[in-house]
C-alpha cells in the first residue's frame, strides 16, 4: 500500500486532499497527532483513531499522543490528580494495542499548555474568536450541558496545540472536525501555519445501528470487557444482511454496525479473516478484503450469526493485550 493510501484508507474526510497528497510525498519523520481526554479504559472510539495512527507509522510518520489533561479538566472529567492517573493507564493500553514505541511520543497537555507563551497566544485567540464561533466548534464534543466559559476556551486551546506540538497533521474522529476547521481559520491570525487534518468515521450504535456509538450512551466495547462480555455484546448487535439498512420507523438513518466494525477495526489489523463453519454449513470462509465479506453477507452466503461470531473472535484478539495490561496495572 502506498503512503497516500495508508494515510487516507478508512478516513471519512481529509482536509484537504491536496495537502494530504503533499504530505504523502515524503511522510518519513513528519509528525501527526491525536489528543484524548484521559479516561482509564480505552474503547473502540479510541482504537479507531489508533488504527489510523498505526497506518501513519507504517508510512514512516512519528505520532504524538496528547493526553489532554487540561482539556479533560475544562470538560469536567474529574480532579486533576484523577485525570493524570487514568492517563498513565491509557498510555500503557495504547502501546499494548500495537502502536510502535519508537515512533510514539506521549505528551501531557499540562506540560506546555500552562506556559506563558501559550497562555498569551490563547488570550490572543480569545480576542480573535466570537463566542458563537467557539461554541459551534464544541457542539459535538461537549454534549448537552449548558455552555460554560471553559467550553469556549477548550477549542481555542486545541487549536494552539497543533502549533505548539510542532505538527504536520491533526487526526481525530469526525466529532473533532469543527475544532480543526476553527484551527484552520484562526491559526493564520497568529501568523501560524495551517495543517491538514484526517477524520475517522464514527461507528453506529451497536444495538440498533442508529446514531453514534459512544461510551456515555448505549453499548461500547472496551479494553475492560472479558471475552464473554464481548461475545454477548456482539451477538446482540444489530446486523441485517445488508450494508444499507432501511431507516427505522421514526425515520432515523441506520447503519450495519457489525459491518462497520469489520471494516474499520478488523480488516485494517489482520491480513486474513477466517469464518469458521462446520462442513455441513459449507465449511470455512476466508477473506482478505472487507468488500468480499460485505458482499457475502448481502447475498446470504455468510449468515449474520457467523459474521458476529467471527467479529467477536477478532475483536477479542485485538483487545486482549490491553485487557491484560489493565489487569496488571490494577493488581
Ligand atoms: N477534543 C478531544 C480531546 C483533545 C484533542 C486534541 I487533537 C487536542 O489538542 C486537545 C484535546 C476529545 O474530544 O477527546
More confident residue, 38 or 215: 38
231 pLDDT above the threshold of 90: yes
Three-class secondary structure assignment of the chain? CCHHHHHHCCCCEEECHHHHHHHHHCCCCCEEEEEECCCCCCEHHHHHHHHHHHHHHHCCCEEEEEECHHHHHHCCCCCHHHHHHHHHHHHHHHHHHCCCHHHEEEEEHHHCCCCHHHHHHHHHHHHHCCHHHHHHHHHHHHCCCCCCHHHHHHHHHHHHHHHHCCCCEEEEEHHHHHHHHHHHHHHHHHCCCCCCEEEECCCCCCCCCECCCCCCCCCCCECCCCHHHHHHHHHCCCCCCCCCCCCCCCCCCECCHHHHHHHHHHCCCCCCEEECCCHHHCCCEEECCHHHHHHHHHHCCCCHHHHHHHHHHHHHHHHHHHHHHHHHHHC
> How remote is the CA of residue 65 from the centroid of ligand 1, in Å?
10
Please compute the mean of the pLDDT values over residues 301-305 and round it to a whole number: 97
pLDDT at 218: 72
- CATH code at 227-330: 1.10.240.10
pLDDT at 134: 97
Q: Which residue has the least CA distance to atom 2 on ligand 1?
A: 36
Could you tell me if 134 and 157 are in contact, meaning their C-beta atoms sit under 8 angstroms apart? no
216 pLDDT above the threshold of 70: no
93 pLDDT above the threshold of 70: yes
306 closest CA partner among 270, 269, 262: 262
**pLDDT-derived band at 215, boundaries 50, 70, 90:** low
Question: What is the distance between the alpha carbons of residues 135 and 102, in angstroms, rounded to a whole number?
Answer: 37
Mean pLDDT check: name the lowest of 10-19, 25-34, 205-214, 240-249.
205-214
Question: What is the distance between the alpha carbons of residues 1 and 8, in angstroms, rounded to a whole number?
Answer: 11
The answer to whether 164 is annotated as binding is: no
Please compute the mean of the pLDDT values over residues 194-210 and round it to a whole number: 96
Q: What is the percentage of the chain residues whose pLDDT exceeds 90?
A: 92
Q: Which residue has the least CA distance to atom 6 on ligand 1?
A: 35
Convert the pLDDT of each residue in 137-186 to its tens digit: 999 998 777 889 999 999 999 999 999 999 999 999 999 999 999 999 99
pLDDT at 306: 98
Convert the pLDDT of each residue in 40-61 to its tens digit: 899 999 999 999 999 999 999 9
pLDDT, averaged across the chain: 96
pTM of the predicted model as reported, rounded to 2 decimal places: 0.95
ipTM: 0.95
- CATH code at 3-200: 3.40.50.620
Could you tell me if 60 and 28 are in contact, meaning their C-beta atoms sit under 8 angstroms apart? yes
To test the ligand 1 pocket, which listed residue (69, 172, 173, 195) has its Cβ within 8 A of the most ligand atoms? 172
Domain boundaries, the chain: 3-200, 227-330
Please compute the mean of the pLDDT values over residues 62-82 and round it to a whole number: 95
To test the ligand 1 pocket, which listed residue (67, 154, 176) has its Cβ within 8 A of the most ligand atoms? 176
The answer to whether 158 is annotated as binding is: yes
Question: What is the distance between the alpha carbons of residues 265 and 280, in angstroms, rounded to a whole number?
Answer: 30
To test the ligand 1 pocket, which listed residue (36, 180, 212) has its Cβ within 8 A of the most ligand atoms? 36
Q: Which residue has the least CA distance to atom 10 on ligand 1?
A: 158
The answer to whether 108 is annotated as binding is: no
Kindly list the protein residues whose Cβ atom lies closer than 6 A to any atom of ligand 1: 34-37, 66, 68, 71, 141, 158, 161, 170, 172, 176
Amino acid at each position: 500500500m502506498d503512503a497516500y493510501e495508508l494515510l487516507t484508507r478508512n478516513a471519512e474526510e481529509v482536509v484537504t486532499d491536496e495537502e494530504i497528497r503533499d504530505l504523502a510525498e515524503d511522510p518519513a519523520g513528519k509528525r501527526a497527532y491525536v489528543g484524548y481526554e484521559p479516561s482509564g479504559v480505552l474503547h473502540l472510539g479510541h482504537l479507531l483513531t489508533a488504527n489510523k495512527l498505526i497506518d501513519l507509522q507504517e508510512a514512516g510518520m512519528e505520532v504524538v499522543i496528547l493526553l489532554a489533561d487540561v482539556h479533560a479538566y475544562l470538560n469536567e472529567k474529574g480532579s486533576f490528580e484523577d485525570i493524570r492517573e487514568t492517563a498513565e493507564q491509557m498510555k500503557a493500553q495504547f502501546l499494548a494495542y500495537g502502536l510502535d514505541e519508537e515512533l510514539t511520543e506521549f505528551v501531557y497537555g499540562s506540560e506546555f499548555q500552562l506556559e506563558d507563551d501559550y497562555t498569551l497566544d490563547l488570550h490572543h485567540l480569545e480576542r480573535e474568536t466570537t463566542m458563537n464561533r467557539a461554541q459551534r466548534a464544541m457542539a459535538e464534543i461537549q454534549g448537552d450541558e449548558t455552555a460554560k466559559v471553559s467550553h469556549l476556551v477548550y477549542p481555542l486551546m486545541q487549536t494552539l496545540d497543533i502549533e505548539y506540538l510542532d505538527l504536520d497533521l491533526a487526526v481525530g474522529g469526525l466529532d473533532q472536525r469543527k475544532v480543526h476547521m476553527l484551527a484552520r481559520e484562526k491559526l493564520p491570525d497568529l501568523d501560524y501555519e495551517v495543517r491538514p487534518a484526517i477524520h475517522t468515521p464514527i461507528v453506529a450504535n451497536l444495538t440498533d445501528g442508529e446514531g453514534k456509538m459512544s461510551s456515555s450512551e448505549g453499548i461500547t466495547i472496551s479494553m475492560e470487557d472479558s471475552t464473554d462480555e464481548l461475545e454477548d455484546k456482539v451477538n446482540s448487535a444489530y446486523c441485517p444482511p445488508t450494508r444499507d439498512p432501511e431507516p427505522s420507523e421514526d425515520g432515523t438513518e441506520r447503519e450495519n454496525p457489525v459491518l462497520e466494525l469489520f471494516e474499520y477495526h478488523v480488516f485494517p489489523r489482520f491480513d486474513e479473516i477466517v469464518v469458521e463453519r462446520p462442513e455441513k454449513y459449507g465449511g470455512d470462509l476466508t477473506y482478505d478484503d472487507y468488500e468480499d465479506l460485505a458482499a457475502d453477507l448481502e447475498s446470504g452466503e455468510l449468515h449474520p450469526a457467523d459474521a458476529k461470531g467471527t467479529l467477536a473472535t477478532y475483536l477479542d484478539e485485538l483487545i486482549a493485550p490491553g485487557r491484560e495490561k489493565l489487569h496488571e496495572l490494577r493488581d
